[in-house]
Amino acid sequence: MTSWRDVESAVPEFAARVRALFDAHRHKTLATLRADGSPRISGIETAFDDGELTFGSMPAARKGADLRRDPRFALHSATVDPVDGQEAQWPGEAKIAGRAVVSGEVTEGTGGDLFRADVTEVVHTHLDPRATLLVVEWWTPTRGLRTVERE
């Protein structure tokens, strides 16, 4: 089990950049798997709470049913376009993949399931300082942090 705290301990600067992208906007996108194996995309809100990445699902929501049946997920930060002429300042986008672990009930609003993330991969995609290369940095618990630059 790899918690968000484990990511922060292993690669603090990288984890801070990824978290900042997730914290910058309220709404994110969650990918789950339907019963037939096809993908489902849902809007979601997340929280970094006491070293854990958490998210909820309203009662009878399809994404919660998907995660209880098959816990694999991919989570994407909000996507914003680079500003023309200021591409080097674009913060990029972040992704986290893993397995959702039911950790209790949502106690606010309409209730539902509360999940915490068992993190298997974290990605930050951005541009180099000259905005001439796409930089993909990704971390896994077994391989650590790696970087690829693409034209």
- Look at residue 145 and tell me if it is in a domain: no
In a domain, 13, yes or no: yes
**pLDDT per residue over 101-117, tens digit each?**
999 877 777 778 999 99
**Strand, helix or coil at 70?**
coil
Q: Which pLDDT score, from 0 to 100, does residue 8 have?
A: 98
pLDDT over 80 (residue 95): yes
Here the CATH number for the domain that contains residue 52 is 2.30.110.10
The reply to whether 135 falls in a domain is: no
Its domain, for residue 22, covers 4-122
The mean pLDDT of 15-33, rounded to a whole number, is: 98
* HEC profile of 89-150: HCCCEEEEEEEEEEEEECCCCCCCEEEEEEEEEEEEEEECCCCCCEEEEEEECCCEEEEEEE
Q: What average pLDDT does the segment 25-30 reach?
A: 97
pLDDT greater than 90 at residue 91:
yes
Nearest 10 degrees: Cα torsion 146, 71, 111, 122 = 0
> Considering the domain boundaries, does residue 111 fall inside one?
yes
In a domain, 24, yes or no: yes
Confidence (pTM): 0.94
In 3-state terms, what secondary structure has residue 10?
helix
Q: Is residue 142 part of a domain?
A: no
Q: What is the pLDDT of residues 59-78, one digit of tens each?
A: 889 999 999 999 999 999 99
pLDDT value for 59: 87
pLDDT of 112: 87
Q: Please tell me the predicted confidence (pLDDT) of residue 106.
A: 77
Residue 56 belongs to a domain:
yes
Q: Is 132 domain-assigned?
A: no
**Mean pLDDT across the chain, nearest whole number?**
95
pLDDT of residue 110: 76
pLDDT of amino acid 111: 74
Domain count, the chain: 1
H helix or E strand, kind and range, residue 41: strand 39-44
Beta bridge mates, 49: 52
What is the C-alpha separation between 40 and 63, in angstroms, rounded? 8
